[in-house]
Amino acid sequence: MPDRPALQSWPARALLGAVVLSALALGGATDATPSIAVAQPQASAPYVPGEVVVGFRPGTSQAATRAALQRTGVEQLSTPLAPFSTVAVLHGVSVQQAVTQLRRRRAVAWAVPDYIAHMAQVQAPAPFIPNDPGTSGKPGGWQQLQWNFVGPYSVNAPQAWANVAAASHPGGAGVIVAVLDTGVAYANHGHFVRSPDFRADEFVKGYDFVSHTPYPEDHNGHGTQVAGTIAEATNNGIGVTGLAYGARLMPVRVLDSQGDGASSAIAKGIYYAVDHHAQIINLSLEFTAGTVKAKSIPELIDALNYAHRRNVLVVAASGNEQADQLSYPAKARWVVSVGATTEDGCLGDYSNYGPGLTLVAPGGGPNSSLPRNDADCHSSATADGDIYQETFADVESPSVRVFGLPDGYYGTSMAAPHVSATAALIIASGVLGPHPSVAAITARLRATATALEPGDSDRLYFGAGLVNAAKATAPTGSTGATGPSGSTGSTGSTGSTGTTGSTGTS
C-alpha cells in the first residue's frame, strides 16, 4: 500500500482559501457558491484562523475526494502536490466545527487545524541605548566616545544590557565586584567627593590597605576610572556609561597615589574581598614580567588560590611591556588574564601576550604591528581611541574634587575591567545557573569571545578572542599619552594613566 494517495491529476498549489463550510453545508450538500475568506497567520494564535488541513485515506480516488469535500460544502479549485488539502472555512464557521464535519466523511483520514510553528530561537530583546550624553550634551552622546562599548571592535554593550534586563537583573544587579586599585571616588568624606557619575548606593564597604583606614579614597584617578568601566551609573543623563552598571562595587585601596603597591597589601586586599562576599575581583595592576616570579610573591599566590577555593573569579591585566609573556598576577593559575585591543581591533602596542592569555578586551591607544597583517594594524596607523570614564579631570595633577572625561587613559588596566564587568553580567543573566563556578564563567568568556585572527597566532596574541558581552549573556540557543611602564615601583597600575605615565615597572 502506498504511503501517499495517488493524486497525480491535482494541480501544484494547495487549496488556500478554496473550501467553504457554511451552516447549510454542515447539514448536507449545497449548490451555493462558496465565499472566500483567507486569514493571515498570527504568531500569537495556536493555529491559522479559518483554515483546515484535510488528509485522505490511501487509495482514495479523485472522484471520492472531490465528493467528500463537496458534501461538506467544498468546491475543489486546485490540487496540491502533497496528499492533503488546505481549505478555508466560511466566515461564521469555527475551525473546530469544520474539523468535526470533515472527520465524519468516509474518504477523510484526518482533518486538523493548521497549527502554527515558531522558529526554535530565543528572540533577543531590543538593544538598550542609555541617555548619557558623553561630551556632546545630547542624550545618547556616550556612543561617540565609548567605541569600546558599541562599535565593530567593542564588547557589544547595548545588547548585553538588554539581555540581563530581560533576566530581571539590569546592569548586573545583585553582583559584587571588588576593585583593588588606587581607591575609588566613592563617597563625600573630608575633602574627598564622590564622582558625579556614581551613586552612593552602588558601593559596599571597602578598605584602604595603603593608609590602613576604612576609607579607600582614590588619590590618583586610576581606580575611579577602572571602577567606572565596570559600573559607572548609566541612563542618568550624566557622563558616560558603565558596562555592569547595576552591580555593586567594593573599593579596596592597594596602590598608592603613584600607582604602586606592595605584594602583601594586594594579598590582604584579596583576602578582604573574598571574606566580604565579592564575587569578582579586578586587578588592573602588574609586576615586572619575567622578573617577578611566583616564588617571589608567595603571599599573593596563596591569596589567589584562596579566592579560587572560595569560588571568586579573579581578573587581571596581562601587563604593558609588549612582552611575549604575561605579568603576575595575570600569569597565576586560575586568574583570567586580559590583553588589550585598540579601536581598530588590533593588539595594543603595549600589551603583553603569550601562552596562558585568556582573552582580550578594549584597552585603547596605539596599534601594534603584531600580529594582524591588515593595513589597519600597522604600527604607523595609530588609533586615537582612549578609554573614557568619569574620573579626576586633570590626569597629570589630579584634584580629588574636580571630575571630567580626560584623554590619556589606555592600557591593559583599561581592558581588564571590561572582562570583570562581563563576568558580572554573566552571573546576573543566569545563563549558567544561579551560582556558576569560576571554571564555568571562564569557559563562557572563552566560548563567546569574538575571534580576531584565524590560526594559531590568534591564541598567542588574543587568547580566545575579544570579549563579547552580548554573546556571553545571551540565553543558550539564541591611562597617559606617553604609554606604559613608567619606572615607579615594583608594582603598579597597568594602564597608562597620564602624559608622564604612572604604571610601575610592570
Query: What are residue 247's phi and psi, to 5 degrees?
Result: -75, 165
Task: Tell me if residue 222 is catalytic.
Answer: yes
Determine whether 168 is an active site residue. Answer: no
Distance (Å, rounded) from C-alpha 172 to C-alpha 245?
7
For 27-43, letters b (16+ CB in 10 Å) and e give: eeebeeebeebebeeee
Q: Which residues of 349-452 form beta strands (DSSP E)?
A: 359-362, 391-392, 403-404, 410-411
How many CA atoms are closer than 13 Å to the CA of 394, on its beta-carbon side?
7
Helix intervals (H) in 430-486? 438-447, 456-462, 469-473
> Which residue in the list 219, 222, 308, 418 is annotated as catalytic?
222
- Radius of gyration, CA atoms only, the chain: 32
* Whole-number Å distance between alpha carbons of 421 and 361: 11
Chain-centre distance for alpha carbon 251: 24
Selection from 455, 453, 433 nearest residue 444 by Cα: 433
Any alpha helices (H) in 82-221, and if so which ranges?
Answer: 95-103, 142-145, 157-166
Distance of CA 195 to the CA centre of its chain: 26
CA distance 303 to 272: 10
How do 336-341 and 359-362 pair as beta strands?
parallel
C-alpha cell at 284: 588592573
Catalytic residue, chosen from 413, 493, 502, 506, is 413
Cβ-proximal residues to 385 (8 Å cutoff; 6+ apart), any chain: 147, 148, 342, 343, 364, 365, 410
C-alpha cell at 133: 550624553
- Provide the sign of the torsion angle of the four alpha carbons 436, 438, 440, 442, taken in this order: positive
Q: If DSSP codes are grouped into helix, strand and coil, which group holds residue 404? A: strand
**Active site residue: 85, 132, 169, 181, which one?**
181
Pairing of strands 495-496, 47-56: unpaired
CA–CA gap between residue 36 and residue 119 (Å, rounded): 29
Question: What's the rounded Cα separation, in Å, for the pair 284 and 485?
Answer: 13
Catalytic residues: 181, 222, 413
